Structure 1
Amino acid sequence: MDSNGAGSVQYDCWNEDNINMNVESSQTTWMRIYNRVCVGSTGKVVKVAGALAALVSIYIIGYVTGYYVHRC
């Protein structure tokens, strides 16, 4: 199975010339916004604020619905 003839292809998987360490510039705009807003401590604050806004909106919808259903 080992062929060391002229037809074999050799490559170096640790070729340091082809490594791209600049990850930030290769990301799309949406991924940068997602990483800034949804990850880390800022992400926790955004998630808590979103959950609180969802609960308040459900409460208001329930209040208005209950008002119109139960009025005489």
Structure 2
Amino acid sequence: MQPHETSGVQYSRWNENSQDQVNVNPSATVFPTWRRFYTMLCTGKIGIAMKVFGGLALFWIIFIIGYVTGYFVHKCKQM
């Protein structure tokens, strides 16, 4: 019984018949959809652009929330 390996290629040089044996498991090399999506959007030039865009969007969201909150907190009461 062989141990479970995570890699897609298993090479066994020493076996009972003294022959080289190479086993390829194609299902181990297929990434899930979320992993491909993450790799595409979070690495490389697109990843840097997404992080910059996300940072700017977060800045403006916090700025607008603070502005609106400050407006209502410091609003002068009318008699």
Q: % of aligned pairs identical?
A: 44
Residue from 24, 28, 34 that aligns with 2:32: 28
Tell me the TM-score normalised to structure 2 length.
0.64
Alpha-carbon spacing, 1:45–1:16, altered in 2? closer, same or farther (3 Å): farther
Alignment correspondent of 2:4: none
Tell me the TM-score normalised to structure 1 length.
0.70
Q: Which has the higher contact order (CA 8 A, sep 6+)?
A: 2
* Displacement of 1:55: 0.2
Q: Which runs of 5+ in 1 are unaligned?
A: 1-10
How many Å separate the matches in 2 of 1:38 and 1:16? 38
How many Å separate the matches in 2 of 1:40 and 1:16? 37
Q: Which runs of 5+ in 2 are unaligned?
A: 1-11, 15-19
Alignment correspondent of 1:7: none
Amino acid at match of 1:51: G
Amino acid at match of 1:49: F
Query: RMSD of the alignment, in Å?
Result: 2.3
Is the 2:13–2:21 Cα contact (8 Å) retained in structure 1? no
Higher percent of residues as strand: 2
Alignment correspondent of 1:12: 13
4+ residue runs over 6 A deviation: none
Alignment correspondent of 1:45: 49
Q: Matched residue pairs, number?
A: 59
